[in-house]
Structure 1
Amino acid sequence: MEKWNIRKNKMLPVIFALAWPTMLEQFLQTAVQYIDTAMVGSLGTQATAAVGSTSTVNWLIGSTVSAIGVGLLAFISQSFGAGNRERAKRASGQAVLVVLAVGISFTIVIAAINKQVPVWMQVDEGIRDMASRYFLILYAPMLFRTANIIFGTVLRSVGDTKTPMRVGVVMNIINTVLNFLFIYPTRVAVIAGISITLPGAGFGIEGAALASAIAYTYGGIAITVKLWKHADISPKGQSFKPDKTILIPCIRVAFPNMCQRFATSLGYVVFASMINSLGETSAAAHTIANTVESGFYIPGWGMQTAAATLAGNALGAKDGKKLRDLERAIIPLETGLMTVCGALLFAFAPQLMTLFSRDAEVIMLGSTVLRMVAISEPFYGIPIVLEGMMQGVGKTVAPFIFSVIGMWGVRIIGTFICTQLLGMGLIAAWACMIAHNVLLFMLFAVYFARGKWKPKF
């Protein structure tokens, strides 16, 4: 036992070294999302509903791109663990090809469907044009967004989580400053008795979308430059022609994960569509509560990055002891962090809702669902890190199956029955979401405990 404690204590600093930059990056992104929501919320419930109505489609697009990055993460982290840096650099060259193909393809698709998205999401007719314009502006720089996601994943796969964090910090600063300039019209503010004229374009929610688009454009360019100059994983000098020896192993890992994220995100779209049909108050409360809740998943996503990278390194080095030490250290750590996050969310739900809305009904409804979901935070956090370890060793089929069962078998069918057939509201829909989270915990925990995901060294 003493020997295991020594190994575990050595693993904890490594986990934190990889996780904290990702946590800080996620925290800053969430803070900006909070600011965006608060600024848009000041424009009224219609503006909040218009922005929130397409958020699940945003997740669908972003998660699909992220899934492609998972294949590269597994391949590169395993190559680094095996000491084969040349193979890792060749994979970095293939990442450039992937960014170009995926980014351009998504740009074409978004330009074609932007007017239909609000219709598919059952958005009130009065705000469909507003929602469509917001969506199109936000995703116009899709090539740069793709570069930011995939190149950031490539850097994290070799243990460099600080560079994506630094780029993310600047992106968030740009987004916040431009929000102030683009959303509101020119106005006069009184500070310490002094009147100051603050310039503004008065673009409303289109201004929020434009600010984000510019920030993502910067992020895509900056992360590309950083990757190009990186000592360990630069694609400079590598071939950008398709390389089957790299792409096929990456696709084997990425495809199930992409199917998982696509199916899950499509489920989010259907879920949000049913909530939008409940009216503006429910849609606004759901949008704000989702935004608030996302901030409390930060420890989970940070730990998932560390879990995936370290598990991939362990597999590449054929070090079963390192893999065991990782799981023994990271699971209790994640459980503790998510329990604390759940407690804070439960305690401060009304105050957090008040940050984003002045509508008493929206605040009350959002606070109720947040306190409900706060209880399930640890149950949701554990599958996140378990999935991270499975991603690192290339086991992505089981998570795909579990996610489809949970999303479509519990959340979607349950929400449809509750809201569309029985006439129940947002609280019932979030209860179905919580049941989905608990089921995921059970499925992942049983599969993980049986050890079927572990590679044989």
Structure 2
Amino acid sequence: MSATGEGRVELVKSGSGRVGLWMLAWPIFIEIFLQTLLGTVDTIMVSRISDDAVAVVGISNQLFGALTTLFTTFAGGAGILIAQRIGSGRHEDARKIAIMGVTASSVLGFAVSILLFLFSDPIARALHISGGLIPLAHVYLTYVGGGLFLVGMSASLGSAIRNTGNTRGPMYTGVAVNVIHIILNYILIFGMFGLPEMGLGGIAVSNVVSRLLGVVVLLYMFSGAFERTIRLRDFRTFSKKLFGEIVRISWPLGLNSSSWVLSQLAIYSFLALLGAKELAARTYLNTLESFCFTLGYAIAMAGQIQIAHLFGARQMKEAYRGAYRTLYIGLAIVSANVLLLFLFGRTLLGFFTADQEIISIGVSLLALNLILQPCKMLNMAMGNCLNAIGDTRYTMVVSIISMSLIGVGGSYLFGISAGWGLVGIYCCMIADEAARGLLVLRRWRGQKVLREAEAQAAGGQPVRSGKRSKVLFKMEG
């Protein structure tokens, strides 16, 4: 494996792929870890305001996650196509795809931000936020939501840069953004250096300022990420053919991601019906779970980038085997981390709140996490591998059906109607992740898209559906 002076990694030159996976994964891990740390710091600082404020932040962030998928859809699809084009040596196409992906994400991001800024109160009521929490929700939804377009720009720019193989640049930017955000949080929330105490409003200002600085740095990095420098006038670039490819691969990704986040939003609204303490407990535990899953998620993302490059270079054998390497490494890491959470969860929850009822609720879910997180890793790793080779419609269909029937439907049936509460909801979350994980694993083992691509590369003849042989691996990658 070699890296250019600009940090772009030539993944397809890696013999086994092992080195490439780790070189891609560790910067992604640091970046995601710091983003998770940012959320944890926010949660801890907001908890000093009140547990009610934590509940508002928890459910609002679920909404933001759902909306963010609307304008990062193009970024995800464009990122996969960028990696495939670079793998096949078509760098100019990769550059055009990156520009269009960033442009589309930014336009949609501005539209969403305007809606949140203007209609925060009706949105809060639609989320079943109680009347006493509406004033807090107004502040957070209006100002953090109003700056949400910056999240879309960061995501699209970062995705394009990472899929060239340069995962370090976004990592360094993430470090800077997190440091700035933590410092501004401390100053603005608690009114340091003679400034007024802004409370939840301080979180909002800190979010917008730190994200804006991050976008500026990523734009500079993006301009030099390809063989030909990207200039401001280049954002007028449009290719109907390439844009159509982005749309074809992106809309299933968008529906998939939106379905997941909307299902989580629905589950959070069920938790709001259970009470503020249950909602706060889930928010605290979700923060801890994020740390357990961070390195596993980074491995899954790195695997997607690597497999997309290998698929573009028609190295099908390495692509197929690389998926299992990604899965095994991710499962080992996630399982070890979730065991540590099980052993020290009560102590860790104590860092967030002194309310023993909230802590007890969180502790009651720690054993279920031993099953939930490995199931998530299975689903994430194999689902990302299918996405990397363009098989996005299958993952979309599986996700929508499973999350709607098992995730949301089951959570309401058992958690609310049957009165099982958080335990019932968690059991349904486990069933949903396990069902999706097993289905995407089965799809990958079938090698449908890989065999079709190999046949096209060999002569364009379609593969008959009845052929299930391993002939693919008798060929040279």
Give TM-score, length-normalised by structure 2: 0.88
Distance 2:118 2:50 in 1: 29
* Structure 1 stretch displaced more, 112-121 or 267-276: 112-121
Measured after TM superposition, the shift of residue 278 of structure 1 is 0.9
Residue type of the alignment partner of 1:58? F
Residue deviations 1:317-370 (CA, integer Å, cap 9, x gap):
111122134124222111211111221121121122111111111111112213
Quick check: 1:339 aligned with 2:345?
Answer: no
Match of 2:289 among 289, 293, 299: 293
Match of 1:164 among 151, 160, 170: 170
Measured after TM superposition, the shift of residue 105 of structure 1 is 1.7
Q: Name 1:182's counterpart in structure 2.
A: 188
Q: Give unpaired runs (5+ residues) of structure 1.
A: 1-6, 187-197
Distance 2:202 2:142 in 1: 12
8 Å CA contact retained: 1:70, 1:391: no
Distance 2:352 2:40 in 1: 8
Distance 2:296 2:73 in 1: 17
Match of 1:209 among 201, 204, 229: 204
Compare relative contact order (CA 8 Å, sep 6+) and give the higher one, 1 or 2: 1
Residue type of the alignment partner of 1:413? G
Quick check: 1:368 aligned with 2:374?
Answer: no
Distance 2:190 2:150 in 1: 26
Measured after TM superposition, the shift of residue 143 of structure 1 is 3.0
Q: Name 2:217's counterpart in structure 1.
A: 222
Distance 1:299 1:452 in 2: 29
Quick check: 1:144 aligned with 2:141?
Answer: no
Q: Name 1:408's counterpart in structure 2.
A: 404
Q: Give unpaired runs (5+ residues) of structure 2.
A: 1-12, 455-477
Structure 1 residues 37-76: aligned runs within 5 Å: 37-76=43-82
8 Å CA contact retained: 1:335, 1:382: yes
Q: Name 2:382's counterpart in structure 1.
A: 386
Measured after TM superposition, the shift of residue 302 of structure 1 is 0.9
Distance 1:358 1:233 in 2: 55
Q: Name 1:321's counterpart in structure 2.
A: 317
8 Å CA contact retained: 1:180, 1:200: no
8 Å CA contact retained: 1:296, 1:341: yes
Quick check: 1:129 aligned with 2:144?
Answer: no
Quick check: 1:251 aligned with 2:257?
Answer: no
SS state of the match for residue 201, structure 1?
coil
8 Å CA contact retained: 1:76, 1:157: yes
Measured after TM superposition, the shift of residue 106 of structure 1 is 1.6
Matched residue count: 440
Distance 1:376 1:103 in 2: 32
Measured after TM superposition, the shift of residue 178 of structure 1 is 0.6
Quick check: 1:117 aligned with 2:123?
Answer: yes
SS state of the match for residue 83, structure 1?
coil
Residue type of the alignment partner of 1:56? Q
* Structure 1 stretch displaced more, 62-71 or 401-410: 62-71
8 Å CA contact retained: 2:106, 2:149: yes
Distance verdict in 2 for CA 1:290–1:359, change over 3 Å = same
Quick check: 1:83 aligned with 2:89?
Answer: yes
Distance verdict in 2 for CA 1:324–1:356, change over 3 Å = same
Measured after TM superposition, the shift of residue 154 of structure 1 is 0.3
Give TM-score, length-normalised by structure 1: 0.91
Residue deviations 1:246-275 (CA, integer Å, cap 9, x gap):
110011010001011112211111111111
